[in-house]
């Protein structure tokens, strides 16, 4: 067994001692801090990524909220404008209606007074015409009955009329 002959216990001893010493020294002074730093950084990165995603989502939510608010505001503005328009048209139409009513009222009262005037005017005309007629009749009667002949003719005529009846 050449392999065994070559094996040196002393070398084995020193190698084991040196390796174990290195193992414990590196474990304490190198691997722990290095692995901790790497872990810490990995955690930090993944945390940051999660947070970034969260922030993005929040931003999206806020944007949606903003849009909603804007939409609401727009709708409200539209409503207000519409309402204002409606009020304006209503006021105008109301005013128109009122004016029309007033107008028609005034027209009616004017007609009424015209009618009343007309009636009084007709009445007056009638009385005046009656007075004139009476005057004319008086004059005619006077002229008709101014002579005997004429009185007798009249009476005849009247009598004739009666006879005929």
Partner 1 sequence: MAVNANPHEEEEHNDSAIERSEEEQAAYDKAKNGEYVIHHTKDSHDFGFVTNESENKHYGFSLPVILYDEGFHFFSSSSFDHGHKVAKSDGKYFKLNSHDAKIYRCDEYGEIYESLKPWDFSITKNVIVTFLMCLLMFLLFRGIAKSYRTGLAPTGAAKFFEPIVVFIRDEIAVPNIGEKQSKKYMAYLLTVFFFIWFLNLAGMTPLGINVTGNLALTAALALITFIITTFTGNKNYWMHIFWMPGVPVPMKIILIPIELIGMVVKPFALMIRLYANMLAGHVVLGMLIVAVYSFENYFASGAFLGLTFFMNIIELLVALLQAYIFTMLTALYFGAASATAEHH
- Dist CA 90 CA 85 (whole Å): 8
3 binds partner 1 (CB under 8 A): yes
For 20-64, what is the HEC assignment? HHHHHHHHHHHHHHHHHHHHHHHHHHHHHHHHHHHHHHHHHHHHH
The verdict on 19 binding partner 1 (CB under 8 A) reads yes
The yes or no reply on residue 5 touching partner 1 (CB under 8 A) is: yes
Q: Evaluate whether 102 touches 110 at the Cβ level (below 8 Å).
A: no
Backbone φ and ψ of 23, nearest 5°:
-55, -50
Structure-token match 């204002």, residue found: 84
Q: Which is nearer to partner 1, 17 or 141 (CB)?
A: 17
By rule CB under 8 A, what count of residues binds partner 1? 34
Q: Can residue 30 be called a binding residue for partner 1 (CB under 8 A)?
A: yes
Looking at 28-36, 61-69, 105-113, 156-164, which segment touches partner 1 (CB under 8 A)? 28-36
Q: Say whether residue 16 binds partner 1 (CB under 8 A).
A: yes
**CA atoms within 13 Å, Cβ hemisphere of 165:** 5
Stretch that binds partner 1, among 15-23, 65-73, 80-88, 92-100 (CB under 8 A): 15-23
Site residues (vs partner 1, CB under 8 A): 3, 5-16, 18-23, 25-27, 29-35, 37-38, 40-41, 44
């Amino acid at each position: 067994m050449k392999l065994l002959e070559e094996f040196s216990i002393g070398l084995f001893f020193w190698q084991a001692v040196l390796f174990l010493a290195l193992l414990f020294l590196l474990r304490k002074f190198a691997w722990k801090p290095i692995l901790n730093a790497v872990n810490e950084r990995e955690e930090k990165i993944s945390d940051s990524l999660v947070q970034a995603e969260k922030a993005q989502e929040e931003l999206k939510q806020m944007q949606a909220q903003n849009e909603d608010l804007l939409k609401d505001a727009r709708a409200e503005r539209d409503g207000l404008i519409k309402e204002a328009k409606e009020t304006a048209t209503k006021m105008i139409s109301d005013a128109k209606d009122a004016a029309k009513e007033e107008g028609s009222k005034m027209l009616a009262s004017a007609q009424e007074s015209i009618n009343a005037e007309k009636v009084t005017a007709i009445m007056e005309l009638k009385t005046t015409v009656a007075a004139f007629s009476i005057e004319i009749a008086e004059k005619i009667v006077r002229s008709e009955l101014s002579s005997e002949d004429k009185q007798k003719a009249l009476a005849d005529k009247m009598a004739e009329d009666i006879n005929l009846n």
